[in-house]
A and B are shown apart, each in its own frame.
Chain A
């Protein structure tokens, strides 16, 4: 059984069909890419997968469980985590606390335990700190734990977002343009990090990216969207030779 099975997913806003007939099968431990021109519906697809939008039709199953139209809270608990195209960190909070917020539903104690500083509070907080520092170390940021998130340079903010997403122990990680705004060196480094995350955590990763070198370099299967519909799917090589994809990106021969 595949980790994620999406069938015939679609959403329309008013009269506009933003995404239609979206199918996707994701297996654990693999890297998937979702590409397409601006406005093709890539982020909309992410928003449906994470429960931010309720799909108008279709079906999403994670590990055999139907999660279609469930709340983001439910889906996060079920095992899908994401990052955002325009970085969304908890700016005023410490880097360490940003990661700890990611563990919100994984390491719990009651409000009263926190208020009364019970043993379960102390032990869980201790474990959280240790786990968060370990995660930060994967990204080489363990020495930044005490800074506020907004004090980090851009590239590290992107990494912190991935770190926070990983803190929720996801089965599937969705990255929305992780390399946006990065220079070639940072992009190269990020590619290695993403691969490492996949290998070390043994999870599936689905990413949206405009940087073709990045996508072609690490994704094993790429889905191309245009006007809300899938126009091609396959390995990097298949995609780059597909005439419809070339037309979508470069414009048709006639223009």
Chain B
């Protein structure tokens, strides 16, 4: 009996999240069809989708596993560079939709491998090591990618960490990766629906994972590592599972993001981006997927909307942050919000738990 009721409860909050994303998609499509879409908003759609995927995936690590990761941008970067590298080289000969699909798979795989490399040594330890190592590996990747030169000519691929000329390329050679200038001449592919589909896939992954045996193991580790260990849970396995899945989806987000622009530079994926995504997760409520999505949308759109008020931009931005924080975390606000929500769902069981 309680089992069935529980299904209802988690299903309802999942449905709300999925419904929100689909409503968001429908709203944008309606605005577009009725011709009200401005170039400014149109240009923000793909970044919004990418940040939403980033926020949902980081929630796996911060909200559900309870580990602090300060380098989520690195996985986005790894995915973006691997995916776009394929897209601009081998992918150029393929039909665009196929090249995009393979670019996503390659980007996800590259980010996942990077996640394993970072995660394996660190996740065996407990404590703040993950925060330190992810922070550092993000900076390392950014700097290495920013100093890397790759070119191709009739003799094959050339690689250098120094400069373009030390590649020793033939005059007709083509530069593929140009250090701090990154990858240029990307054939743009920005389809909002693809972004929404990626969000939905991420959501299905995260909600299904968290409502399964593996997800329970992950939350158990968050709540009490010692008890989880004593219960026979393999800590390293489940920590890696959460961390690497998050990395893979960050990689997807990176590919989506990079396909929206004609050039891709490593400097974009810096510490600030990681912190921004972390702020989205924290503001949305850790472990609360829908909250993270809403925070990602607001925090991506808001700074752009405020460009007109150049002087007051950061001031307004920080006020919004404080208000959102209060709305989500302050006990008085939370209970007010709960009472407000109760009017809409009459018989819903009262429970202190948010989340999926």
Residue numbers of A with Cβ under 8 A of B are 50, 52, 72-73, 76-77, 81-82, 84, 88-94, 96-97, 100-102, 104-105, 107-109, 111, 113-117, 121, 124-126, 129-130, 133, 142-143, 145-148, 151, 164, 168
Contacts and interface: CB of A to CB of B under 8 A. Distances in A.
Interface residues of B, number: 36
Contacts of A105: 232
Given A114-B208, A133-B3, A145-B2, A93 B216 contact: yes
A69 to B, nearest CB: 15
A130 to B, nearest CB: 7
A151 B222 CA distance: 18
A94 B6 contact: yes
B349 interface: yes
A115 B212 contact: yes
14 contacts: A52-B229, A76-B231, A77-B232, A90-B224, A92-B219, A94-B6, A100-B213, A102-B231, A104-B216, A117-B208, A130-B3, A133-B1, A133-B2, A145-B6
Nearest to A164: B231
A91 B221 CA distance: 11
Interface of B: 1-3, 5-6, 9, 205, 208-209, 211-217, 219-220, 222-224, 226-234, 241, 287, 349, 351-353
Contacts of B212: 109, 111, 113-115, 121, 125
Nearest to A132: B3
Contacts of B351: 146-148
B352 A104 contact: no
Contacts of B9: 146
Q: Which of A76, A107, A108, A142 has the most CB of B within 10 A?
A: A76
Contacts of A116: 208
A64 to B, nearest CB: 20
A97 B216 contact: yes
Contact of B209 (A52, A90, A115, A143): A115
B3 A72 contact: no
In the A-B complex, list the 10 residue pairs whose CB atoms are closest, starting with the nearest: A114-B212, A76-B232, A129-B3, A90-B223, A88-B227, A145-B2, A105-B232, A101-B220, A111-B214, A88-B224
Given A101-B216, A111-B209, A148 B2 contact: no
